[in-house]
């Protein structure tokens, strides 16, 4: 096994924290975990210097501007973090002949399809978040030929802020909740994604676009009901809402199920069913 210096950006986020938990199982490599305090990835000179000085062989870019609705009015900030920064990272590691794993999103699609999205489907984002993430994919691939794009969806974890934690909190505070039922996709437990990333690193990063989420298909309403059931919350009624009843600044894809066949075949991985992973996460939350 080749020993590498691997840079993790956005280490304080959901995925970054999950990767840090798994690093101890891969002790051969030198893992360099950074967030904005240690490395400003929007500063090209800082990125170039950091990558060269630390002899970085690979980068897993978990950093992103993820406030989907705020991005509609903060396009510049979203573009800087989601589009410009990945290009800086890719160029710096590309010059060293290294590799990069860029995390992307189901929001690169408009959600009008009715079969799971495959990697060759033409992206058509309808939000600032989606369009800046798509541009980030293109920039990373342009500046580092050994770039692996992993698109994921509905990410949650025991770390950070996410839908699972919000539903548990609101379920304990309120007697009734309304949740969208006409947006369909698949949740992703960040720990499962972290395992897939580690497998890719150990078996060798293969350039190209890959999709990853847990198995199965549900609506946000079904997801909320399952969260309450598994968390033992029985006193909060969850009502199904149409998207039109809960308008948001950003357009969200009504159907964003991802086909995971490519990554499963490429790395011989089994992906857990969404409800099994949700139960595991809720157990950790206590």
Task: Give catalytic residue positions.
Answer: 129
Taking CA atoms, 74 is separated from 62, 112, 129, 132, in Å, by 20, 26, 10, 11
Distance from C-alpha of 167 to C-alpha of 171, rounded to nearest angstrom: 6
Taking CA atoms, 125 is separated from 65, 109, 130, 156, in Å, by 16, 5, 5, 22
Tokens 């809402």, residue? 241
Q: Is 247 exposed, middle or buried (0-12, 13-18, 19+ CB in 10 A)?
A: exposed
Distance from C-alpha of 108 to C-alpha of 193, rounded to nearest angstrom: 18
Distance from C-alpha of 194 to C-alpha of 191, rounded to nearest angstrom: 5
């Amino acid at each position: 096994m080749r020993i590498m210096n691997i840079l993790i950006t956005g280490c304080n986020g959901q995925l970054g924290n999950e990767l840090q938990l798994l690093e101890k199982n891969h002790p051969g490599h030198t893992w360099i975990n950074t967030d904005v305090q240690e490395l400003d990835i929007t500063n090209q000179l800082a990125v170039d210097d950091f990558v060269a000085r630390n002899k970085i062989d690979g980068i897993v870019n978990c950093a992103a501007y993820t406030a989907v609705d705020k991005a509609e009015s903060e396009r510049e900030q979203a573009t800087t973090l989601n589009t410009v920064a990945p290009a800086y990272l890719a160029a710096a590691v590309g010059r060293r002949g290294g590799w990069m794993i860029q995390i992307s999103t189901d929001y690169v699609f408009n959600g009008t399809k009715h079969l799971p999205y495959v990697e060759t489907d033409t992206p058509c984002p309808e939000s600032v978040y989606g369009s800046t993430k798509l541009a980030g994919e293109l920039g990373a691939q342009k500046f580092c030929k050994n770039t692996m794009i992993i698109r994921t969806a509905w990410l949650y974890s025991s770390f950070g802020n996410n839908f699972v934690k919000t539903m548990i909190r609101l379920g304990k505070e309120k007697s009734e909740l309304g949740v969208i039922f006409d947006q369909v996709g698949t949740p992703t437990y960040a720990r499962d994604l972290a395992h897939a990333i580690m497998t890719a690193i150990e078996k060798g990063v293969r350039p190209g676009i890959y999709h990853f989420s847990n198995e199965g298909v549900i609506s946000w309403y079904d997801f909320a009901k399952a969260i309450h059931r598994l968390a033992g919350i029985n006193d909060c009624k969850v009502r199904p809402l149409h998207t039109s009843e809960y308008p948001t600044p950003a357009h969200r894809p009504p159907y964003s199920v991802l086909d995971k066949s490519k990554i499963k075949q490429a790395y011989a991985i089994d992906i857990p069913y969404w409800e099994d992973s949700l139960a595991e996460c809720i157990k950790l939350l206590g």
